[in-house]
Amino acid sequence: MTITNNSFFRSTDGGMTQAGATTGRCSGTAGDGVGLLNSLLLNGYNWQEVTRTNLTNSGSTGTVTLTGHGFNKYQHLWLVGMDQAGYKNSTTHGDALYPLTVADANTLTFTTTGSPTSPSTTGGGAGGTTTTLNGALSDTTGTTVVATDGITHYPASTSFVIKIDSEYMLVTAGMGTNTWTVRRGFGASTAATHSNSATITQVILLGVAPAGGATPWTADYTASNKSTYRPSAGNRYYLDVDDNTSAQNMELRCYETMSAVATGTGPFPTTGQIAVSATAGFNCLKSSAASTAARPWMAIATDRMLILWIDSSNTGLSPSAASCLVFADLNDLSHAGDAYATLVIAGTGTSAGGAEIILASASATVAIGHYVPRPYTQIGTSLNVIKMQADIRGMTGLSSITLGSSSTALGYPHAPDGGLYLSKINVHDSQAVFRGTIPGLLAIMHNHPISHGDIFPGSGTFAGKTFVCVYTYISGCVAFEISNTITTT
């Protein structure tokens, strides 16, 4: 199966700063890491209101006009809140999810059906359809909203977006009645209490969709600067993040099941595995300094994987600068029904050197900081696994080398054919037991052949795919797959 909700996020994206949401800043400040993960996995960012007058249609092309919108063509955008069939184009949330095209700095386009009325007449005019609360919302977690008149001018069956004070909510059930079920704090807004008779306004929103889009990850358990994240698809194990104990690091642990922050069964890695690591700890380094100085970051994520890269020293991509977090279900599973093929990669110390392992030695020995919950036998506890690149013929490389290092890299351009070579990255329980490959992450088999951040198309085996070059080492680099072409097999 091909995953069609792969999202590409960068610290340079427009709209990372917005009211009611964490800025997307990554720094040596407690809470910044959780705030960043919330933006990527739960909320999205750069949400903007779209009025019915700037949502128009001509033939089979819908156009959204927003001056200086700040979006780019590599993002997955979510236009949500329409109820006219032609604009929502057979989607289920009254939306156009992902297929928007960034035409220019002020215009986006998408495909419509049936030549819907132009401008949009959604809800009798989104931004103008109003009612009031029939009863106060006294907490920030309740999911029931009772409207004085939730029927007149409101969609009878399609999900839509409402705004009460400064909080957006996605109505997911109860349409056509006065009692709605809602998703609180939608569109990266902040859930708040609301008084009886507060005005309810229907709106249309456009923003960068979180990983998973309409089915984002969840934060099942939270505390101050701490959160437990769970993918919405796949094996659905838990990523527990403590961004409070250390200002510079996100302290990490994964679990098979959880009942509260830092409390669960089937931990990976185990406490013992952390204790015997080269430098105690299991974390993702946010910054080499305890300060608010922002660090560059880049990520790809889907409903079942996250790969986050951070230039934690912000020193021009020096060898000790690149830290990482990988939490992903493996692809190409070699054991049918493997329910424990979920990989976590993170750092093993409080320095960038301990965190720089996304491209660590690719050898036939275990890699510190690489864990799956159980062996391929499905029995036992957390296993420290091996990571190896495949060579250019697709065979497993067993030499103790660093992927793409200057001493072992192919020349670029490759002399016989002028090519740029990529390799899948294999994960093994042992040299003899292959578990799968890391989705969306490939080794570049050359010594910095192109610049960090360069986006390039694939060819040959990788035809139809798009990649970004990410520097991880003084001479090593990887490719993130940023197109909707990542597979689960």
> What is the C-alpha to C-alpha distance for residues 331 and 350, in angstroms, rounded to an integer?
30
Higher-scoring residue by pLDDT: 480, 392? 480
> What is the C-alpha to C-alpha distance for residues 53 and 111, in angstroms, rounded to an integer?
18
- Is pLDDT of 253 > 90? yes
Instruction: Work out the average pLDDT over 59-66.
Output: 93
Distances from the Cα of 180 to the Cαs of 143, 144, 346, in angstroms?
Answer: 8, 6, 41
**pLDDT band of 365, cuts 50, 70, 90:** low
- Is pLDDT of 319 > 60? no
> pTM of the full predicted structure?
0.92
Burial class, 10, CB count within 10 angstroms (exposed 0-12 / middle 13-18 / buried 19+): middle
Distances from the Cα of 206 to the Cαs of 65, 70, 163, 299, 468, in angstroms?
Answer: 11, 11, 14, 21, 25
pLDDT at 99: 81
- Is pLDDT of 268 > 90? yes
- Is pLDDT of 386 > 60? yes
Per-residue pLDDT reduced to its tens digit, 434-468:
899 999 998 888 888 888 999 999 998 899 999 99
- Is pLDDT of 470 > 80? yes
Please, what's the b/e burial string for 116-125 (b: 16 or more CB within 10 A of its CB; e: otherwise)?
bebebbbbee
DSSP string, 99-114: --EEEETTEEEEE-SS
* SS3 (DSSP) at 35: helix
DSSP string, 313-360: T-SSS-TT-EEEEEEEEPBS-SSTT-TT-EEEE-BSSSSHHHH--TT-
Higher-scoring residue by pLDDT: 389, 76? 76
pLDDT at 17: 59
- Is pLDDT of 3 > 90? no
Lowest mean pLDDT among 9-13, 201-205, 345-349: 345-349
Instruction: Work out the average pLDDT over 295-307.
Output: 94
Q: What is the mean pLDDT of the chain?
A: 85
